[in-house]
Structure 1
Amino acid sequence: MSALLRPTPFTYRSELIDTIRLSVPIIIAQLGVVLMGVTDNLFVGRLLGSVSLGAAGLANSLSFLMSSIGVGGLSVVAALVSKSRSQDDPAAINRFFRAGIRVALLLSFILGGLSALLAFNFSLFGQTPNVTRLARDFMLILSASLFPLLIFVLARQLCDGLRYPRVAMTITLSALLVNALLNYVLIKGIGPFPELGLMGSATATLFSRLFMAAAMLTYIYRAKRFQEYLKPEFRPQPTNAEAWTVLRLGIPGGLTFFFEVATFALAVVIVGWLGENQLAAHQIAINMASVTYMMATGISSAAAIRVSAALGRNSREGIWRAGVAAFVLSIGFMSLAALLFLTANDWLVTLYIRDNVAVMQIAASLVIIAGFFQLSDGVQVVALGGLRGLSDVNVPTIISLFSYWGVALPLSYVLAFPFKLDAIGVWIGLLTGLTLAGALLTWRFFRRVKRTLPVM
């Protein structure tokens, strides 16, 4: 009988090992990307104080919001590459890669322009004058870094889809060191470099992303393992159909990512209305939650790659096992993260700031709530990865819109202001939306698996 109907420990042991082997380098690379933001905040918080920390956090959140459609949209390329690889079609892989470059250029132009426009109208968010001025200039520099960021994301999708995730991992970790060094040098003005203050941190992010994009493309075009997919005879082949496929699948996927990121970005705005201390505390707690979330997205990416490969082989059993393995890994990891947040919240906060007791107390309370939504966050992101592997992107977009904008944001506002729960109310709203999304997306994934293919 099929292992889908009668799974064995041995079956899932091999699935877990393969998922771990693929996801760990992706997780480390994802962690490296998040740690760049954490590094920025550590340097800004320690060297410039809570107001600059709040401004940088707000600018980073809104900038990431604008880029999320591009980052989320391009993530479909890894699944398309993985499916083509399982079908032994290197020409299709080449076309998807070249089409992805075209889409990345288009999205960087559109989203970068919108990001700059948003920066010039920062006063709309109703923040304090100091936060508005600092965040506007910070975000303008981040807008310029969107192009290299999306090129890096696209190149990474090729590597991950071909099961070479260590390439992006190595380059991301190298960029993390570059970012930390440039933060210190440019904020303080060490040696021949000017003292740029908060703008030094934004400039460090820009140069780090340029380094990442250049390093990824250089490796891809020079490494022998990629030459099979970059043959000269592939170049004349048109990529219009593949570009449309990337856009057709990627834009809904990007919007799904956008709705979640927008929820957290707008939550930053709501918290900013409560005061500068609440804003700084929120940024500390959300930074910690972002670290664990991005690690869960590594498992999600592995799920998308493995599910799409099984789909390419027409194996419903393989799709099922790949999904179950990813859920098990994510739940296990996020449970450990929740335990850490719940038991070491005070110590974690001191890593960011020590000179403002009010901020520390608020942040410690928010970290506890972050501990509770770790499981919901881990489940919903893995379900999204599995659905992306099945090229199911439209219904998940609707689910995300309802869960985050229909439930999480309104509830956050109501609990924070009419019910006077302050920043804690905002975070309870976020927890509710994540839990709802996790339940609905998980149901959708397993329902789609049962209807995808006959049992092999």
Structure 2
Amino acid sequence: MNLTIYRKELKETIYLGVPIIIGQLGNVLMGVGDTIQVGRLGASPVAASGFANSVFWLISIIGIGSLMVVGPQTATAKAQGNQAECRRILLSGLYLGFFWGIIVAGLFLLVSQHFGLFNQKTDVQALATDYSFYVAFSAIPLMIYAALRQFTDGLSFTRVTMIITLLGTVLDIFLNWVFINGKLGVPAMGLNGAGITTIISRTVMAIGLGIYIVKDEIFKPFISVQSENSLMPLLVKLIRLGLPGGLQLFFEIAAFSSATFFAGWLGTLQQAAHSIALNMASVTYMVAAGLSSAGAIRVGQAVGLRDRHKIIRAGAITVFLVILFMGTACLTFLVLARPLTSLYTDDVALMTVTASLVIIAGFFQLSDGLQVTGLGILRGISDVNIPTYITLVAYWIVGLPMAYVFAFVWKLDIQGVWYGLFLGLTTSALLLLKRFYKLASTTDFEFKSVPQEILHG
């Protein structure tokens, strides 16, 4: 084993991944900032925004997940020196981003008119419906930004979107202060002001990234070159490869949303504990998801170079980094469960239940990190269909049914729900990683596992 090669791969993956992670955490911070400012309006606006945003992300995650294929495809084309293909991927990604934006906006507007089906309180439902009108239209710039971000990440220029995401977070927090509270001559709009801010922030981020790509010299080789080839075959390929990725994320998030319903059936205390523990776990997940995106790009580059050993190294280094980080998170959750919980609440009963869930979350940190890593590195070799079935089985045949059995049949309460989630995540992680190493270790991997149009441009 040549340790020098592995050290080089490690450095390049970290260099690529850190800005992606910071950008991911910036998105989390944007949500936290929204919640804090809306929280000053009272319990009903907080409940309304939280509910509406949960439904919005459940719908939009299919589009965002579908666009994640743009990054690895761009990385493959760049590694092949095919700049014209990079440009075609960018244009195709923009078309798909706009398409998914329209679809998500339309579906969310439709669903928002039937929030009563979710048995929300009357005041919460009314506020959520009005707020959703504004949030729905933010789906278009959100999807366009996602497509542009995948393109720049695929070219390994990840610091660009990191900076724009952080600036967008600052803008969002400032505009929330203005529109929610009525500052600088703007009338106070309450929760609707937060919705207007969401549209403005996401639009500014999408336009800002687009202008940066057009104006900066580093992108000119990839956007100035012309190609006479029709975009339609590429659009079809990106949809074929991307849609399963969207479904993978949907199956996972929908399962966790269903687990939240289970928690609500068990009681208010259990639901509150579930929400707090899930919030902690989501922060570490974002780091693993960032590393997964970096791994997908590194594997995609190796595919472009037709280097099977480099594919295996890129996957192995990504897995190593995720194990290192999520292992540390696991120990932190196990040792500091009670102190971490006390940051959220001083209610003794709630702290006790939440701490017990944080301990379980500690155990499934590795599974959670490795399953999202498995999806990422498999996406790098354009293996998307079987992983979609794996996530469906892991979460909806293993995880969620067992969560119900543990909680309601075997009377393990909210802890039982989390035991089920742990089983689902572990099943997904094991099957996805096994599949990657089975494919990557095949002697004629380049010719059987990767579609020929990807290898040959």
Paired residue for 1:29? 23
For residues 428 and 48 of structure 1, what CA distance do their matches in structure 2 show? 36
Paired residue for 2:222? 229
For residues 99 and 449 of structure 1, what CA distance do their matches in structure 2 show? 28
Tell me the CA shift for residue 178 of structure 1: 1.6
For residues 360 and 214 of structure 1, what CA distance do their matches in structure 2 show? 44
For residues 88 and 403 of structure 1, what CA distance do their matches in structure 2 show? 38
**1:382 equivalent among 373, 388, 401:** 373
Paired residue for 1:407? 398
For residues 16 and 346 of structure 1, what CA distance do their matches in structure 2 show? 34
Residues 314 and 453 of structure 1 are in contact (CA less than 8 Å); yes or no, is this contact kept in structure 2? no
- Write the mapping of 1:388-399 to structure 2, written as runs, cut at 5 A: 388-399=379-390
Paired residue for 2:284? 292
**Deviation by residue 1:39-70 (Cα, 9 ceiling, x = unmatched):** 2234444x245554444333322211111111
Asked whether 1:369 is paired with 2:363, we answer no
Asked whether 1:260 is paired with 2:256, we answer no
- Write the mapping of 1:44-83 to structure 2, written as runs, cut at 5 A: 44-45=38-39, 47-48=40-41, 52-83=45-76
> How many residues are paired up?
446
**1:426 equivalent among 399, 417, 426:** 417
Instruction: Report the secondary structure of 2:442's partner residue.
Output: helix
- Write the mapping of 1:348-359 to structure 2, written as runs, cut at 5 A: 348-352=340-344, 359=350
**Deviation by residue 1:379-422 (Cα, 9 ceiling, x = unmatched):** 01111111001100000000000111112222223333344444
For residues 46 and 364 of structure 2, what CA distance do their matches in structure 1 show? 24
Paired residue for 1:208? 201
Instruction: Report the secondary structure of 1:194's partner residue.
Output: coil
Structure 2: stretches of 5+ with no match in the other structure: 447-457
Residues 113 and 129 of structure 2 are in contact (CA less than 8 Å); yes or no, is this contact kept in structure 1? yes
Tell me the CA shift for residue 328 of structure 1: 0.4
Task: Percent identity, please.
Answer: 45
Of the structure 1 ranges 96-105 and 123-132, higher mean CA displacement relative to structure 2 is found in: 123-132
Tell me the CA shift for residue 347 of structure 1: 4.2
CA 1:426–1:143 in structure 2 vs 1: closer, same or farther (change >3 Å)?
A: farther
For residues 58 and 32 of structure 1, what CA distance do their matches in structure 2 show? 21
CA 1:454–1:142 in structure 2 vs 1: closer, same or farther (change >3 Å)?
A: closer
For residues 43 and 421 of structure 1, what CA distance do their matches in structure 2 show? 36
Structure 1: stretches of 5+ with no match in the other structure: 1-6
Of the structure 1 ranges 160-169 and 55-64, higher mean CA displacement relative to structure 2 is found in: 55-64
Residues 179 and 208 of structure 1 are in contact (CA less than 8 Å); yes or no, is this contact kept in structure 2? yes
Paired residue for 2:334? 342
Residues 101 and 139 of structure 2 are in contact (CA less than 8 Å); yes or no, is this contact kept in structure 1? yes
1:450 partner letter = S
- Write the mapping of 1:162-173 to structure 2, written as runs, cut at 5 A: 162-173=155-166
**Deviation by residue 1:188-244 (Cα, 9 ceiling, x = unmatched):** 33443333444444433332212211111110111111111222634x642111111
Paired residue for 2:2? 8
**Deviation by residue 1:161-202 (Cα, 9 ceiling, x = unmatched):** 111000000000111112222333433334433334444444
Of the structure 1 ranges 171-180 and 135-144, higher mean CA displacement relative to structure 2 is found in: 135-144
For residues 414 and 185 of structure 2, what CA distance do their matches in structure 1 show? 42
Tell me the CA shift for residue 115 of structure 1: 1.7
Residues 322 and 370 of structure 2 are in contact (CA less than 8 Å); yes or no, is this contact kept in structure 1? yes
Instruction: Report the secondary structure of 1:193's partner residue.
Output: coil
Tell me the CA shift for residue 361 of structure 1: 4.8
Residues 74 and 89 of structure 2 are in contact (CA less than 8 Å); yes or no, is this contact kept in structure 1? yes
CA 1:198–1:297 in structure 2 vs 1: closer, same or farther (change >3 Å)?
A: same
For residues 441 and 83 of structure 1, what CA distance do their matches in structure 2 show? 21
Tell me the CA shift for residue 142 of structure 1: 2.5
1:248 partner letter = R
Of the structure 1 ranges 94-103 and 321-330, higher mean CA displacement relative to structure 2 is found in: 94-103
Asked whether 1:149 is paired with 2:142, we answer yes
Residues 366 and 424 of structure 1 are in contact (CA less than 8 Å); yes or no, is this contact kept in structure 2? yes
1:324 partner letter = A
1:163 partner letter = S
Of the structure 1 ranges 144-153 and 201-210, higher mean CA displacement relative to structure 2 is found in: 201-210
1:77 partner letter = V
For residues 185 and 368 of structure 1, what CA distance do their matches in structure 2 show? 40
1:173 partner letter = L
CA 1:43–1:276 in structure 2 vs 1: closer, same or farther (change >3 Å)?
A: farther
Asked whether 1:308 is paired with 2:318, we answer no
Q: CA RMSD in A?
A: 2.4
For residues 366 and 63 of structure 1, what CA distance do their matches in structure 2 show? 26
For residues 312 and 112 of structure 2, what CA distance do their matches in structure 1 show? 44
Residues 58 and 269 of structure 1 are in contact (CA less than 8 Å); yes or no, is this contact kept in structure 2? no
Residues 54 and 279 of structure 1 are in contact (CA less than 8 Å); yes or no, is this contact kept in structure 2? no
For residues 188 and 267 of structure 2, what CA distance do their matches in structure 1 show? 28
**Deviation by residue 1:332-355 (Cα, 9 ceiling, x = unmatched):** 11122223333334444454556x
2:156 partner letter = R
1:162 partner letter = L
Residues 127 and 273 of structure 1 are in contact (CA less than 8 Å); yes or no, is this contact kept in structure 2? no
Query: What TM-score, normalized by structure 1, do the two folds share?
Result: 0.90
For residues 408 and 436 of structure 2, what CA distance do their matches in structure 1 show? 36
Instruction: Report the secondary structure of 1:233's partner residue.
Output: coil
Tell me the CA shift for residue 31 of structure 1: 1.3
For residues 305 and 112 of structure 2, what CA distance do their matches in structure 1 show? 47
2:32 partner letter = V
Structure having greater relative contact order (Cα 8 Å, sep ≥ 6): 1
Tell me the CA shift for residue 425 of structure 1: 2.7
